[in-house]
């Protein structure tokens, strides 16, 4: 039981520039306005198994999640995973050349591991609201990544 979203952003920059931004985890708080703090847990390069804690502000509250790189096919795609409160989260970015720039596709999925009756009821009642909030956040993230790659960075560092 879960929810999935996929959004696409055209970026007027080459894929290697977009890739550098996506994989600059320590600098992500300078790119994405909703991220307030990043703690690197695995020193070194962005490779499979790389881990960090990311603190984001959503709906007026801060939440910290531990995340890790599950798959890397540089510079074409990467998959990031997280587990929290009985849910398994997957975020996948796919980059492809398009119209002199890059087509960046962001997939987000949330799967409940063993939802009980109460969790199923809550998903039924609040699932659409959560999807709407997540969609808005994903669109904002994609726009801020595009702004950074295109040299029109709008975040307050």
Q: How far apart are CA 16 and CA 14, in angstroms?
A: 6
Query: So what's the pLDDT on residue 157?
Result: 44
- Residue 70, sorted as left (phi over 0), alpha (psi -120 to 50) or beta, turns out to be alpha
Mean pLDDT by 10 residues, the chain (157 residues): 85 97 96 96 96 90 94 97 88 97 95 61 57 88 97 62
pLDDT of residue 156: 46
Q: What is the pTM of this model?
A: 0.87
Instruction: Note the pLDDT of residue 117.
Output: 59
On whether the CB atoms of residues 79 and 71 are closer than 8 A, the answer is yes
Q: What is the pLDDT of residue 84?
A: 84
User: What pLDDT, on a 0 to 100 scale, did the predictor assign at position 1?
Assistant: 47
């Amino acid at each position: 039981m879960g929810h999935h979203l996929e959004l696409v952003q055209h970026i007027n920059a080459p894929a290697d520039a977009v890739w550098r931004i996506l994989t600059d985890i320590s600098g992500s708080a300078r790119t994405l306005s909703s991220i307030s703090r990043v703690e690197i847990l695995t020193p070194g390069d962005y490779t499979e198994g790389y881990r960090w804690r990311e603190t984001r502000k959503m709906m007026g509250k801060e939440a910290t999640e531990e995340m890790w790189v599950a798959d890397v096919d540089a510079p074409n795609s990467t998959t990031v995973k997280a587990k929290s409160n009985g849910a398994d989260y997957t975020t996948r970015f796919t980059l492809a050349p398009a119209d002199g720039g890059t087509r960046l596709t962001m997939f987000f999925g949330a799967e409940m591991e063993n939802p009980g009756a109460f969790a199923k009821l809550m998903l039924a009642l609040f699932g659409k609201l959560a999807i709407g909030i997540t969609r808005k956040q994903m669109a904002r993230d994609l726009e801020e990544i595009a702004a950074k790659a295109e040299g029109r960075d709008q975040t307050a560092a």
